[in-house]
Structure 1
Amino acid sequence: MKPLFSQGPSTTARLILLVMLSVLLLTLDHRQGLTDPLRRHLSTLTHPIKMAAELPGNLIDLTGESLRSRRELIAENQRLRDRQKIYEARLQRLDALEVENIRLRRLLDSSYELERPVLIAELMQVDLDPFSHLLQIDKGSAAGVHVGQPVIDSTGVIGQVERVSRLSATVRLISDPSHGLPVQVNRNGLRTVALGTGRINTLSITSLPNNADIRAGDLLVTSGLGGRFPAGYPVGEVRQVVTDPGEPFSRIEVDPLGALGRVQEVLLILERPGRGPDNPAEATPGADDE
């Protein structure tokens, strides 16, 4: 015989009761915050587990960011090195342009002091054979260059034009062994001829007697004789005067003032407006129209 009331609530009744209890707890929690302390404690307890779970992803992100930063730094460093090279190249060019500008300004200032029209020409070729000191310049008959035309730089006489083509010309330096230039001592007007020696840094005078009034340090300028070089252009400075009682003439060495071995641009002295070459008859044979 079964005892009375031994059977409990049905499953459906239990489910409904649990649902109602859950709703009640959710409502109370929403309004009263009954479970906030519990959530805080659970959050504290689970934080290490959460950090451990996120650690691999964070390491991957950090490694990727580090690699990207390193690549960016390498690329930026390379760009800066390239830019530095460009700037260094530009700086070298600017230095060269500055030197060239100073040199041209000196040439132009020199031409202004000469009070004669001049033509600036650049060197194309240099031939400093011991027996022939020649320069080739980039101006020819098309620019008004003629045979015998005086050539100077900013410091002194260089030489004179020997051959002319349409677009270039050949200049024989005053240091050439076959060249002679009428000069005078600027201090007293004593006239003589300065001869080339085949050495780029030395001229010689062999036609003055031992008692001539010339001494070391004297400035030699063009005398104007011969009609090629106008008077007054600096040629050189007397280095030494050697006299021998047994010889009738002194041996005189002269330092050229023109930069014969270092010149890059030269000045060709033009004729004054309305005048032709000083020696037109001599200018014709060497000219050609190549």
Structure 2
Amino acid sequence: MDTIFTRGPSLNIRLILALVMSVALIIADTRFDMFQSSRVYMNSLMSPLQYLANLPSVLLNVSAQRLTSHEDLVDENQRLTNQVLLMSERMQRFDVLQAENDQLRALLDTPSKPGMRKKVSELMAVETSPFSQQIVLNKGALDDVYLSQSVLDDRGIVGQVSEVGTTNSRVILITDVTHAVPVRSVRNNIRFIASGTGSLDELLLEHVPHSVDVEVGDMLVTSGLGHVFPEGYPVAQVSKVTRDESRPFAIVVAKPVARLDRLRYLLLLWPEGTDDPQEIDAVTEDEASVEDAN
């Protein structure tokens, strides 16, 4: 007698088939990069959900700004006025230094570097995995964002773009264990490789001989090698140097200058000589409307 519901494969067989298919998909993606375009489409499909998840935070910020008292606004205005005066004084000194630098470059017959195109972006999400340090920005392919693009905050290098969607992009931080940055010391121009340790406040300089002149407090900036990060941007400051002769190399630890634990607004850089140099976009339309309302 035939039963209405036929019995399918056992649970063990189903588990084995699932494992085999999973391994096959992993190998296909790792070896042949077959799902690169699929990830871009999935990232684009998920971007509306990310904007929706970010909506409560935006609404709370708008509400908090509207509830700010008149006294707080007066105090903040005074503080910003003082800050503008200080920045104006620094800009005056910068103009003098830039003029001197142009004169020195002319003596060396070295042309000045053209301006770099810039664009402000806003943090949308933070990777919650304990094995990966990545963030999501609200700029994507529609804003000309590209893979390996440099990202920094108001203090120094933050990371580089690792995935690009239509309206957002994913950035891997310099402290991720899979990331490394070519740097040089400002004091003596010695070059190093600064690798991530998985901690937001720590980088490790790889394979540093005991005889190398490196000291606590040395400022490390991008060296320009690898053609990913432009030369001369601050990366980290040496915080610890341990020379143990029982080890083949010295242990040199540096602290990133970027505030990786409190990121919000970030700057995307384009290569020198691109169109629209010195372009800095408005932060967001929502914030502009809030300012107009205030």
After TM superposition, the score normalised by the length of structure 2 is 0.56
Partner SS for 1:259: coil
Structure 1 segments (4+ residues) deviating >2 Å: 86-103, 112-115, 271-275
Is 1:196–2:196 an aligned residue pair? yes
- Whether the aligned pair in 1 keeps the contact of 2:117 and 2:274 (CA below 8 Å) is no
1: CA distance, partners of 2:223 / 2:229: 8
Distance change >3 Å, CA 100–CA 248, structure 1 → 2: farther
Distance change >3 Å, CA 93–CA 172, structure 1 → 2: farther
Distance change >3 Å, CA 87–CA 131, structure 1 → 2: closer
Is 1:214–2:221 an aligned residue pair? no
Please report how far the alpha carbon of residue 192 of structure 1 lies from its aligned counterpart in structure 2 after TM superposition.
1.1
> Could you say which residue in structure 2 is the equivalent of 1:78?
none
Please report how far the alpha carbon of residue 147 of structure 1 lies from its aligned counterpart in structure 2 after TM superposition.
0.4
How do 1:1-290 residues align onto structure 2 when only pairs under 5 Å count? Answer: 88-89=68-69, 115-127=115-127, 129-274=129-274
1:135 alignment partner AA: I
Rg larger in structure: 1
Please report how far the alpha carbon of residue 271 of structure 1 lies from its aligned counterpart in structure 2 after TM superposition.
2.2
Aligned length: 185
2:159 alignment partner AA: G
Please report how far the alpha carbon of residue 207 of structure 1 lies from its aligned counterpart in structure 2 after TM superposition.
1.1
Per-residue Cα deviation, 1:118-173 (whole angstroms, up to 9, x for no partner)? 11000000125331001100000111100000001110100000000110000000
Per-residue Cα deviation, 1:30-61 (whole angstroms, up to 9, x for no partner)? xxxxxxxxxxxxxxxxxxxxxxxxxxxxxxxx
1: CA distance, partners of 2:74 / 2:270: 32
Which stretch shifts more, 170-179 or 124-133? 124-133
Please report how far the alpha carbon of residue 219 of structure 1 lies from its aligned counterpart in structure 2 after TM superposition.
0.3
1:245 alignment partner AA: E
1:213 alignment partner AA: D
Distance change >3 Å, CA 174–CA 88, structure 1 → 2: closer
Distance change >3 Å, CA 133–CA 190, structure 1 → 2: same
Distance change >3 Å, CA 191–CA 175, structure 1 → 2: same
1:257 alignment partner AA: V
Per-residue Cα deviation, 1:168-209 (whole angstroms, up to 9, x for no partner)? 000000011110111111111111100101000111113111
- Whether the aligned pair in 1 keeps the contact of 2:116 and 2:274 (CA below 8 Å) is no
Partner SS for 2:127: strand
> Could you say which residue in structure 2 is the equivalent of 1:59?
none
1:211 alignment partner AA: S
- Whether the aligned pair in 2 keeps the contact of 1:130 and 1:199 (CA below 8 Å) is no
Please report how far the alpha carbon of residue 95 of structure 1 lies from its aligned counterpart in structure 2 after TM superposition.
7.5
Please report how far the alpha carbon of residue 248 of structure 1 lies from its aligned counterpart in structure 2 after TM superposition.
1.5
Distance change >3 Å, CA 201–CA 141, structure 1 → 2: same
Per-residue Cα deviation, 1:15-37 (whole angstroms, up to 9, x for no partner)? xxxxxxxxxxxxxxxxxxxxxxx
Please report how far the alpha carbon of residue 87 of structure 1 lies from its aligned counterpart in structure 2 after TM superposition.
6.6
Distance change >3 Å, CA 153–CA 214, structure 1 → 2: same
Please report how far the alpha carbon of residue 224 of structure 1 lies from its aligned counterpart in structure 2 after TM superposition.
0.6
**5+ unaligned residues in a row in structure 2: which ranges?**
1-65, 99-112, 276-294
Partner SS for 1:206: strand
Distance change >3 Å, CA 202–CA 116, structure 1 → 2: same
- Whether the aligned pair in 1 keeps the contact of 2:184 and 2:190 (CA below 8 Å) is yes
Partner SS for 2:161: strand
Per-residue Cα deviation, 1:86-113 (whole angstroms, up to 9, x for no partner)? 875566678789999979xx9xx8xx99
2: CA distance, partners of 1:126 / 1:98: 33
Q: Indicate the RMSD between aligned Cα atoms, in angstroms.
A: 3.1
Distance change >3 Å, CA 174–CA 271, structure 1 → 2: same
- Whether the aligned pair in 2 keeps the contact of 1:132 and 1:198 (CA below 8 Å) is yes
2: CA distance, partners of 1:127 / 1:219: 28
- Whether the aligned pair in 1 keeps the contact of 2:116 and 2:273 (CA below 8 Å) is no
Partner SS for 1:142: helix
